Structure 1
Amino acid sequence: MDSLLALMQDPAAWIALVTLVVMEVVLGIDNLIFISILTNKLPAEHRAQARRIGIGLALVMRLLLLGTIAWIVQLTTPVFTAFGHGFSWKDMILIAGGLFLVWKATKEIHHNVDPIDHKEDMVGGAVTTSFAAAIGQVLLLDLVFSIDSIITAVGMTPHLPIMVVAVLAAVTVMLVAATPLANFIEKNPTIVMLALAFLLMIGTTLIAEGMGFHVPKGYVYAAMAFSALVEVLNMFSRNARQKNRGTGGH
């Protein structure tokens, strides 16, 4: 208890907490986009519940991973060397997660471009998928992002309580934003393609990171923000044209 009180009175700890919360929220955007697209494949009455359960279980998993920090940190130790790069378990997890994202996003883009082909969709089955399959894939991808973010957090602060609070704050933001974001993506088909392009870029970035090529996150999120801004301007332009047609150009 005394250590917690001392931590609360330390300005450096508060700065670390704010920085870590912002980082966790930003990293959570990637996961949230995937969750929104994936759960939109469920029947409408099950979507919100699937998002809540998926994100809630993801929170439990992240807290459990925080309890094994000593083991998580060891995942950065090289296991074998190939092509002049020492591959650790973290690298292999990032590569596997990146390949998973690229594969899923590519299949969904194919489904959107060729709507006649309804044999497979984002979850590799029918147009709608099972509740358990959707939640399982949410947890699978969150495992990849969780390990990456926790290793990053360890490098920012040695204090476990700060990490726990940051994770709780980030997951709370995800719970609040999940349904509005999913509804927005569903109502705007062009946003779906943009979001899938983001997932392709994120997947490629994960693969590059796993192969030893560091890609500054700032560049990735700046590109995503710029693309989103352009699409928002296009939406305003389309809405304005539709209103002009509706009023006969007056």
Structure 2
Amino acid sequence: MQEITALLQDPAAWIALITLVIMEVVLGIDNLVFISILTNKLPPEQREKARRIGIGLALVMRLALLGTVAWIVKLTAPVFEAFGHGFSWKDIILIGGGLFLVWKATKEIHHNVDPQEEGEDFIASSRNGTFAAAIGQILLLDLVFSVDSIITAVGMTPHLPIMVAAVIIAVTVMLVAATPLANFIEKNPTIVMLALGFLLMIGTTLIADGMGFHVPKGYIYAAMAFSGLVEGLNMLARRKRQAAKAAKKLH
């Protein structure tokens, strides 16, 4: 209790909390995009529940990992060496998660580009995925993003209460933003392809990080922001064209 009181009176602790919250929210965008795309494939009545469960599991997992900070830090210690690089459990988790994300994004892009190839039955099943399968895939990616997030948090502050508060605030923001983001993606089909491209890029960077080639997150999010800006301009242009066509029909 005394530690928490001291932290509340320390301006440096508040700065650390704000910084960590912003970082956690930014890192959570990846997870949120994946959850939005995956839950939009479920029947409408199951989507909201799946998002809440998926994000709730992310919160539980991150808080559980924070309770084992000493063990989490050990995940960065090399367990074997190959190709001149020492691989830790963190690296293995990142590579596994990256490969899964690349496979999933590639599969979804293929289905969006050529939906007729495997027949109507396959299309129906792909659009209406099972609830359990969606939760299982969300849980897998929650683990990957949670490990990366917590290790980053440990490197930013030594105070556990600050880390716990930052995680709770960031996941609450994710919970509030999940449904509006998912609805926006569903209403704008071109955004789906853009989001899948983001997931493909994120998966590739996770693999690169696991292999020892660190890609600064700023480059990734700058590319995502630029792509989002371009797509936003395209959406405005489409709406203006549609409005012009509607005006011509009235005349």
Shorter-chain TM-score tier: over 0.9
Which residue number corresponds to residue 54 of structure 1? 54
Deviation at 1:117, TM superposition (A): 3.1
Residues 118, 126 of structure 1: 8 Å contact kept: no
- Pairing of 1:1-250 with structure 2 (within 5 A): 1-118=1-118, 126-248=126-248
CA distance in 2, matches of 1:93, 1:242: 46
Aligned letter for 2:178?
A
Aligned letter for 1:89?
W
CA distance in 2, matches of 1:180, 1:56: 17
Deviation at 1:115, TM superposition (A): 1.4
CA distance in 1, matches of 2:53, 2:2: 35
CA distance in 2, matches of 1:86, 1:218: 25
SS across alignment from 2:195: helix
SS across alignment from 2:215: coil
Aligned letter for 2:20?
L
SS across alignment from 1:81: strand
The 1:53/1:118 distance shift into structure 2, 3 A limit, reads farther
Deviation at 1:118, TM superposition (A): 5.0
Deviation at 1:126, TM superposition (A): 3.8
Residues 111, 118 of structure 1: 8 Å contact kept: no
Residues 57, 142 of structure 2: 8 Å contact kept: no
**Mean Cα deviation higher: 126-135 or 138-147:** 126-135
CA distance in 1, matches of 2:118, 2:17: 46
CA distance in 1, matches of 2:35, 2:53: 11
SS across alignment from 1:87: strand
The 1:159/1:142 distance shift into structure 2, 3 A limit, reads same
Aligned letter for 2:215?
V
Residues 41, 126 of structure 2: 8 Å contact kept: no
Aligned letter for 1:80?
F
Count of paired positions: 247
Residues 109, 196 of structure 1: 8 Å contact kept: yes
Unpaired runs of 5+ in structure 2? none
The sequence identity of aligned pairs, in percent, is 79
CA distance in 1, matches of 2:2, 2:59: 27
CA distance in 1, matches of 2:25, 2:234: 27
SS across alignment from 2:31: helix
SS across alignment from 2:129: coil
SS across alignment from 1:213: coil
SS across alignment from 2:76: coil
Q: Which has the higher helix share?
A: 2
SS across alignment from 1:79: strand
SS across alignment from 2:117: coil
Aligned letter for 1:74?
K
> Over aligned residues, Cα RMSD in angstroms?
1.3
Q: Which segments of structure 1 move beyond 4 Å, counting only runs of 4 or more?
A: 118-121
Residues 78, 86 of structure 2: 8 Å contact kept: yes
Unpaired runs of 5+ in structure 1? none
Deviations 1:44-93 (A, max 9, x none): 01101110111112211111111011111000000111111100000010
Residues 94, 210 of structure 2: 8 Å contact kept: yes
CA distance in 2, matches of 1:37, 1:74: 33
Deviation at 1:127, TM superposition (A): 2.9
